[in-house]
Amino acid sequence: MAETPFLQANSVSRTYGGDQPSGVKQISLDITPGKITAIIGESGSGKSTLLRLLYGLLSPDTGTVSFKGERIWGPEEKLIPGHDAMKMVTQHTDDLNLFARVWDNVAAQLPSTNVKLKEEKTEQVLTQLNMMQLAYKRVADLSGGEKQRVAIARAIITRPEVLLLDEPFNQVDTSFREGLQHDIRQIVKETGLTVVMVSHDPAEVLSMADELIVLKQGEIVETGHPKTLYQNPLNLYTAELLTNCNVLTVDEAKVCGIEAGKETVVIYPEWIRLNNILKTSKWAVKQVLFKGFYEDLILEHNGAILRVVNDESGKYTEGDMVGLKIKKWLEY
Ligand code: ADP
Ligand code: MG
């Protein structure tokens, strides 16, 4: 007998009225339990719609969403919309009690029948999310990013089986974001929590997700492990979502010494190696963009422009001539 699927969508469509076709179409997917699945796609591609369908905040027009073999009830069928075994955190943190302390906001999610257990669990979750130092602050006095941490703590303290995250790290500073991402990964590892997250930040999905689902205009265009999708995306769309890559026409590719068989050539900046061999130094350094521990060089030759990663900061200046070798490219 086949195992009962965990969280599954079966040919799900949900469209909105209006002149432009919008929403999601014919979505079939299987969420792997105990893993982090990230849904990526450009703005308006249907990511939030899909997440709301999985949670039961929206009903599909056609198709079904099921959790452990049972159809998920839509908002018309349930007093409190949203599946009981799931929690969702979005960019909006309006349901927090601004005038209560962080501790009370989180603890209030648990029943008061066992006060000792309630205290223990609150402390545990606040520790897991590195928030004990905030415990006695009023939520009103927190930064946007700290409020989002509180929202996540409130969601996970009830031990949902699935945590749905709709771009919840947007307000979090880059430096804190990595910490929070790490903490969530750790919780997934320790507790077997299943996470489905929506994001448009390539660095975030590549470092956090075990599986990726790529949405374009409401449809899934490809799925796979982050490394596979990054190295060999089936679609130009996916490559552009995951990297800041060079996209060249056939003629521009020719300038780079590539005879392409298809219309478009994609070269990631890290696939280009720089060298100083004089006779091949045909590329002019147009710009040097400081990126911290590395630089982006913008190079030009016969009308073709390439962005290249240079990890030897300070080696080149504008106007220099350099040579390059392209190790890999993709064609679409
Ligand atoms: P994403 O989260 O990827 O930005 P959404 O799922 O929010 O995309 O939206 C997908 C498309 O559906 C967009 O074109 C959006 O304008 C449209 N849409 C979303 N919600 C509604 C709604 N309640 N009514 C009408 N159109 C909507
Ligand atoms: Mg959205």
pLDDT for res 231: 97
pLDDT bucket at 266, cuts 50 / 70 / 90: very high
Mutation probe of ligand 1 site: the residue of 49, 165, 237 with most atoms within 8 A of C-beta: 49
**pLDDT at res. 1:** 59
pLDDT band at 159 (very low <50, low <70, confident <90, very high): very high
Q: Which atom of ligand 1 is nearest to the CA of 45?
A: 3
In CATH, what number does 1-85+161-243 get? 3.40.50.300
**CA–CA dist 231, 310 (Å, integer):** 20
Average pLDDT for residues 35-42, to the nearest whole number? 97
| C-alpha 249 to ligand 1 mean position (Å) | 33
Instruction: Please tell me if the CB atom of residue 90 comes closer than 6 angstroms to any atom of ligand 1.
Output: no
Q: What is the mean pLDDT of residues 230-251?
A: 97
How far apart CA 296 and CA 243 sit, in angstroms, is 14
pLDDT over 70 at 278, yes or no: no
What is the Å distance from ligand 1's center to 156 Cα?
27
Average pLDDT, rounded, for the chain: 94
Q: Write the residue with the smallest CA distance to atom 5 of ligand 1.
A: 46
Ligand 1 pocket, 44 CB below 6 A?
Answer: yes
46 CB near ligand 1 (under 6 Å): yes
pLDDT at residue 279 is higher than 80:
no
Domain covering 244-331 in this structure, CATH number: 2.40.50.140
- Best mutation site among 16, 57, 197 for ligand 1, i.e. most ligand atoms within 8 A of its Cβ? 16
The mean per-residue pLDDT over the stretch 122-129 comes to: 96
pLDDT band of residue 144 (cuts 50, 70, 90) is confident
What distance in Å separates the CA atoms of residue 105 and residue 96, rounded to the nearest whole number?
7
Query: What is the atom index within ligand 1 of the atom nearest the CA of 20?
Result: 14
The predicted structure's pLDDT at residue 171:
76
Q: How far is the CA of 108 from the centre of ligand 2 (A)?
A: 28
List CB contacts of 255: < 8 A, sequence separation 6 or more.
301, 302, 303, 304
**Residue of higher predicted confidence among 79 and 330:** 330
Residue 72 Cα to ligand 1 midpoint, Å, equals 21
17 Cα nearest atom in ligand 1:
25
What are the Cα distances from residue 298, in Å, to 2, 56, 168, 241, 285?
54, 47, 33, 20, 6
Q: Choose among 29, 86, 93, 34: nearest CA to 55.
A: 86
CB half-sphere exposure, 40, CA atoms < 13 A: 30
Distance CA 321, CA 145 (A): 44
Give the ligand 1 atom nearest the CA of 166: 2
Report the alpha-carbon distance of residue 119 to residue 75 in Å, rounded.
33
Between 115 and 21, whose confidence is greater?
115
- Band the pLDDT of 178: cuts 50, 70, 90: confident
Q: Which residue has the tokens 């893993």?
A: 35
d(CA 122, CA 106): 7
pLDDT at 173 over 70: yes
H, E, C per residue of the chain = CCCCCCEEEEEEEEEECCCCCEEEEEEEEEECCCCEEEEECCCCCCHHHHHHHHHCCCCCCEEEEEECCEECCCCCCCCCCCCCCEEEECCCCCCCCCCCEHHHHHHCCCCCCCHHHHHHHHHHHHHHCCCHHHCCCEHHHCCHHHHHHHHHHHHHHCCCCEEEEECCCCCCCHHHHHHHHHHHHHHHHHHCCEEEEECCCHHHHHHHCCEEEEEECCEEEEEECHHHHHHCCCCHHHHHHHCCCEEEEHHHHHHCCCCCCCCEEEECHHHEEEECCHHHCCEEEEEEEECCCCEEEEEEECCEEEEEEECCCCCCCCCCEEEEEECCCEEC
Q: Where are the domains of the chain?
A: 1-85+161-243, 94-159, 244-331
Q: Do domains 1-85+161-243 and 244-331 have the same CATH topology?
A: no
- The answer to whether the CB of 75 falls within 8 A of the CB of 90 is no
- With cut-offs at 50, 70 and 90, classify the pLDDT of residue 298: very high
Ligand number nearest to the C-alpha of 170: 2
Both structure tokens of 104? 């009370």
**pLDDT tens column, 72-96:** 999 999 999 999 999 999 988 888 9
Instruction: Ligand 1, residue 24: give the atom nearest the CA.
Output: 10
Q: How high is the pLDDT of residue 43? A: 93
**pLDDT recorded at residue 168:** 86
Separation CA 112–CA 125 (nearest Å): 17
Average pLDDT over every residue of 292-318: 94
Q: Is the CB of 290 under 6 A from ligand 1?
A: no
CA gap 166, 189 in Å, rounded: 20
Nearest residue CA, atom 27 of ligand 1?
16
How close is the Cα of 46 to the center of ligand 1, in Å?
A: 6
Nearest to 163 by CA among 54, 29, 45, 8: 54
